[in-house]
């Protein structure tokens, strides 16, 4: 690296430079302006706690969420809906969460190289009521462990159905299921 | 930049390469890095605003079930959520609480194609068009808005509601 008049020279692989040139040209910007902008954004992303690697993963998850038809709902309303809708038709509601999970899993399976890790990251990024999401993959078996101090018993069961639906779409069967209020322990096998 | 690279245990060279790879990956998805930052900030705001993210179709189906089972109670639960949401802005230290509320509401309803919320003197007008809203969800969302507007000191003066469309005028409550 060398420096001159407050500017620095950093070596970047040729293939990346070529692609960056194409992108900047497509945007009608100079390469230099494009690079400065990218670096400024990278520093902002860093201040939000993102390394470039985790930022890329997050970006893909959020993009997938938008494509899937993600929507926000007040958390208290969701708790209410879980309880009230369960009073109405618990089996029907479980089926809806399961089917939603299946739809989600199908999308992740087609979109991501490692759909299980993508699903874990999706849960971590969007289900902030979960304090812990642990996924262990070992020789065709997958263990899910989700912990929350906020979920009600019904909400825990419905989320477990959602996870099962997603994993079934990804090509796994439920081997063992143990759900307690605020705790989901699920084992899957190929 | 050097400092940031070191924090991540990376050489400046490696860090910059990762940054450019991320940018090009984002470009292939049709987004830029600023949208990543926007998404991150949106999620943070939604989390702090007491919202949960999930599949729109599932929310609609659950709303239908609950509304059919207990209409008034369901409406009240959405109304209370609107009160809670608006209270954050009313009691916060933002210069213009209504503008902050409007911005966040627009951000959190990214699935709603048309949402206009305009304040002029003592009135607020709202127009929402969302073809995917079910009838129950339309009324529940209206109740959420009513709760929020009441918290800001407005009462509904007139409204026109049909599935997927909410149009209302609220005036400042003098009492």
Q: Is the pLDDT of residue A4 over 80?
A: no
More confident residue, B62 or A160: A160
Q: Is the pLDDT of residue A60 over 90?
A: no
Q: Is the pLDDT of residue A1 over 60?
A: no
Give yes or no for A9 touching B (CB within 8 A): no
Tell me how close the Cα of A92 comes to any Cα of chain B, in angstroms: 9
Distance from C-alpha of A28 to C-alpha of B69, rounded to nearest angstrom = 56
Could you identify the residue written with the tokens 């060279």? B13
pLDDT at B137: 94
Tell me how close the Cα of A32 comes to any Cα of chain B, in angstroms: 13
**Neighbour-count burial for A57-71, b at 16+ CB within 10 Å, e otherwise:** bbbbbbbbbeebbbb
Q: Name the residue among B17, B40, B73 with its Cβ closest to that of A12.
A: B17
Task: Residue B144: list chain A partners with CB under 8 A.
Answer: 74, 77
Q: How high does pLDDT run on average in chain B? A: 87
| For A92, nearest residue in chain B (alpha carbons) | B65
Q: Is the pLDDT of residue B21 over 50?
A: yes
Task: Residue B105: list chain A partners with CB under 8 A.
Answer: none
Query: How big, in percent rounded to 5, are the helix, strand and coil portions of chain B?
Result: 60, 20, 20
Q: Name the residue among B16, B23, B59 with its Cβ closest to that of A71.
A: B59
Contact B25 A20 (CB under 8 A): no
Task: Please report, in angstroms and rounded to a whole number, the separation of the first and last CA atoms in chain B.
Answer: 57
More confident residue, B91 or B14: B91
Cα separations in angstroms, A38 against A7, A146, A155, A173, B54: 16, 36, 41, 43, 31
Query: A6: pLDDT confidence band, cut at 50, 70 and 90?
Result: low
Is the Cβ–Cβ distance between B142 and B159 less than 8 Å? yes
Distance from C-alpha of A132 to C-alpha of B57, rounded to nearest angstrom = 26
Q: Per the structure block, which two tokens stand in for A121?
A: 């990251």
| Cβ-based neighbours of B50, under 8 Å, separated by 6 or more | A74, A75, A76, B81, B84, B85
Q: Is the pLDDT of residue A147 over 60?
A: yes
Query: B6: pLDDT confidence band, cut at 50, 70 and 90?
Result: confident
pLDDT digits (tens, 9 = 90+) for A87-108: 767 888 889 899 999 999 999 9
Q: Name the residue among A16, A20, A70 with its Cβ closest to that of B53.
A: A70
More confident residue, B66 or B37: B66
| For B105, nearest residue in chain A (alpha carbons) | A72
Contact B36 A12 (CB under 8 A): no
Contact B24 A74 (CB under 8 A): no
Q: Is the pLDDT of residue A27 over 60?
A: yes
pLDDT digits (tens, 9 = 90+) for B41-85: 788 888 888 888 888 888 998 898 889 888 999 999 999 999 999
Give which of A158, A183, A186 is closest to A170, Cα–Cα. A186
């Amino acid at each position: 690296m060398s420096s001159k008049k407050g500017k620095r020279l950093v070596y970047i692989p040729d293939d990346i430079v070529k692609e960056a040139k194409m992108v900047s040209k497509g945007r009608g910007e100079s390469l230099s302006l494009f690079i400065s902008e990218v670096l400024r954004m990278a520093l902002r992303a860093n201040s939000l706690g993102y390394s470039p690697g985790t930022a890329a993963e997050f970006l893909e998850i959020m993009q997938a969420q938008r494509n899937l038809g993600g929507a926000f709902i007040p958390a208290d309303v969701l708790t209410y809906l879980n309880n009230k809708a369960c009073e109405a038709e618990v089996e029907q509601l479980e089926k809806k969460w399961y089917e939603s999970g299946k739809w989600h899993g199908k999308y992740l399976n087609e979109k991501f190289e490692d759909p299980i890790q993508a699903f874990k990251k999706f849960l971590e990024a969007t289900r902030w009521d979960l304090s812990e999401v642990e996924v262990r993959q070992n020789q065709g078996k997958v263990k899910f462990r989700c912990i929350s101090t906020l979920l009600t018993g019904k909400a825990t069961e419905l989320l477990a159905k959602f996870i099962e639906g997603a994993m079934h779409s990804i090509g796994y069967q439920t081997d063992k299921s143990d759900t307690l209020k605020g705790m989901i322990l699920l084992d899957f096998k190929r | 930049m050097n400092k940031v690279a070191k924090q991540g245990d990376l050489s400046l060279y490696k860090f910059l390469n990762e940054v450019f790879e991320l940018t090009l990956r984002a470009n292939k998805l049709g987004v830029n890095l600023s949208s990543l930052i926007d998404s991150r900030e949106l999620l943070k705001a939604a989390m702090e605003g007491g919202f949960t993210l999930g599949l729109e179709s599932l929310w609609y189906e659950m709303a239908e079930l609950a509304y059919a089972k207990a209409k008034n109670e369901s409406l009240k639960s959405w109304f209370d959520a609107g009160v809670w949401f608006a209270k954050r802005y009313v009691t916060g230290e933002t210069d213009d609480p209504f503008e902050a509320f409007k911005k966040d509401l627009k951000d959190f309803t990214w699935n709603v194609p048309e949402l206009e919320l305009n304040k002029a003197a003592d009135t607020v007008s709202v127009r929402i068009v969302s073809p995917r809203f079910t009838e129950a969800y339309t009324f529940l969302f209206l109740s959420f808005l009513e709760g929020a507007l009441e918290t800001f000191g407005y009462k509904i003066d007139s409204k026109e509601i049909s599935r997927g469309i909410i149009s209302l005028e609220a005036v400042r409550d003098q009492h």
